[in-house]
Amino acid sequence: MSEQLPLFEIIDAETFHKGQAKTSKGKTLKTEPRMLTTWYDLPTTFGFCTVPMHDEIQKSLSPEKKEYRQVYPSRLVYKIGEYQVCRDCFMAKADKE
């Protein structure tokens, strides 16, 4: 009978802290390709989208998504250039137009 491998690897405190280190200030985060996995990797904050085409993007959403967005107008946003970009505008690349 084979021995079962442990579920967790024991690491020392130094290795743990290196893994927990913040992104260095010189490192830029990737915003391409425009996929949900890219969006979820960004350090977003709550705020309001400032992309000029935001209202047009919202009008193109499904009825369920529109209803949800109206209930919660404050959104997760990420600053790209001069804009605070919400997920819908990020996926539509509206901040680039």
pLDDT tens, position by position, 25-75: 555 678 889 999 999 999 999 999 999 999 999 899 898 888 888 888 788
CA-based end-to-end distance of the chain: 62
Confidence class of residue 17 from pLDDT cuts 50, 70 and 90? confident
Dihedral over Cα of 70, 73, 78, 84: its sign: positive
Compute CA distances 63 → 21, 47, 70, 80, 86, whole Å.
41, 23, 11, 28, 18
For the full predicted model, state whether its pTM sits above 0.75.
no
Instruction: Please give the structure tokens belonging to residue 5.
Output: 């491998």
Q: Where are the beta strands (DSSP E) in the chain?
A: 45-47, 75-80, 83-86
With CA atoms as reference, report the closest residue to 11 among 20, 23, 2, 3.
20
